[in-house]
Structure 1
């Protein structure tokens, strides 16, 4: 019981310290005229850009797989090493995307919490209700955008899984005879990965459309202000 109480206290301390640190960071930014909405805008733009970069990196890795399955001679080890580097870069890009989305979630949560607190400070009932309405509209638009970003993020994992499987398989069978033996499966393998990449790109395109819809929205202190 004492151990459980100790860890609960530690978690609370960490949570309070984290919130306090974020508050200090926000205060510092605001001294230079950078507000939460500006930080959210940058985070969303960065998340979108990282998703598009990940898509390009995944295509490069697929190209490398095709080269390996067409292997006819030369340095097989070198070709495999290049594929492994492409896979590692793809995995790193996917990790960047996850990190960017987490930042979007943190900043948006803090921004909406601040907005709700400030609404309570408005003495005019009419202005208070208008601000609540704007908050609801902004949050709805944000949720649409966030959902599309998360779908794009989830769509990357099946592609990474396929890449990881084949990188490990080739590592365990790294010789020309083994490559030749599985060459007959190469078309199916490439088609599977190509289909997954198409699905991933479709999700990324959907996220980009949501981003543009939010950017083109026209109402005061809405997601428009948060992103553009």
Structure 2
């Protein structure tokens, strides 16, 4: 009986997930259809979303550098209100987490429209009666997909770099919150070296992703 309840619960959860996904896909399709009716095509939406992601990555670069600078000031502590220092460190952590969430959200939005765009493109290629035009369209599609794959991989690489930095920033914030004394600063000085290295790697990977974003934007605008 207990096993049956567990199975029914699992089935119910799976059904909920499937229904949610169906509704989500349906909403997205309806959105794209509505936009096309006013002259905004998936290609335009894709371009806008890549530009938005590029901006969010640039903002994240600034924010993570700011968080690192705040830690640098903290470990140079020479007297003062450590409670106030904790508030500043915690604010930087929360702002960095918000930036990371924004970047992640932008990547998801890009992947969503990319799937729809490439599916539509593939379907429309089959409608050509001219073999020459069909081949040209297929070549453009393959080139766009290759550039897109390079872009999305670079975005994920930068995104993955954010996780350890966020964990370290959170750890430092929690440690300082419960150890408002000079000894705590000494302990954080060791952590700062690792965080500095990770932030520098993150900023470098984000720069590459931003560069890849621009290349993809240029490609969409010229084709």
Q: In which range does the TM-score fall when normalised by the shorter chain? A: 0.7 to 0.9
TM-score normalised by the chain length of structure 2: 0.87
Partner residue of 1:52?
58
Partner residue of 1:152?
158
Q: Structure 1 residue 8: deviation in Å?
A: 4.6
TM-score normalised by the chain length of structure 1: 0.85
RMSD: 2.2
Partner residue of 1:220?
none
1:105 matches 2:111 = yes
1:9-41 Cα distance to aligned partner (Å, 9 max, x none): 444433322222111111221222211111111
Counterparts of 1:120-199 in structure 2, within 5 Å, are: 120-174=126-180, 176=181, 180-199=182-201
Per the alignment, do residues 111 and 117 of structure 1 end up closer, same or farther by CA in structure 2, a change over 3 Å counting?
A: same
Kept in 1, the 8 Å contact 2:151–2:212? The answer is yes
**Counterparts of 1:225 and 1:23 in 2: how far apart (Å)?**
26
1:178-219 Cα distance to aligned partner (Å, 9 max, x none): xx22444444322221111110111011112222333444xx
Partner residue of 2:213?
211
Q: Structure 1 residue 65: deviation in Å?
A: 1.9
**Counterparts of 1:69 and 1:18 in 2: how far apart (Å)?**
47
Aligned partner of 2:85 among 79, 91, 94:
79
Per the alignment, do residues 38 and 92 of structure 1 end up closer, same or farther by CA in structure 2, a change over 3 Å counting?
A: same
Per the alignment, do residues 65 and 111 of structure 1 end up closer, same or farther by CA in structure 2, a change over 3 Å counting?
A: same
**How many residues align structurally?**
217
Per the alignment, do residues 6 and 61 of structure 1 end up closer, same or farther by CA in structure 2, a change over 3 Å counting?
A: closer
1:112-147 Cα distance to aligned partner (Å, 9 max, x none): 011111122223333223222211111001101111
Unaligned stretches of 5+ residues in structure 1: 218-222
1:35 matches 2:41 = yes
**Counterparts of 1:10 and 1:74 in 2: how far apart (Å)?**
54
Per the alignment, do residues 185 and 109 of structure 1 end up closer, same or farther by CA in structure 2, a change over 3 Å counting?
A: same
Kept in 2, the 8 Å contact 1:37–1:225? The answer is no
Per the alignment, do residues 19 and 172 of structure 1 end up closer, same or farther by CA in structure 2, a change over 3 Å counting?
A: same
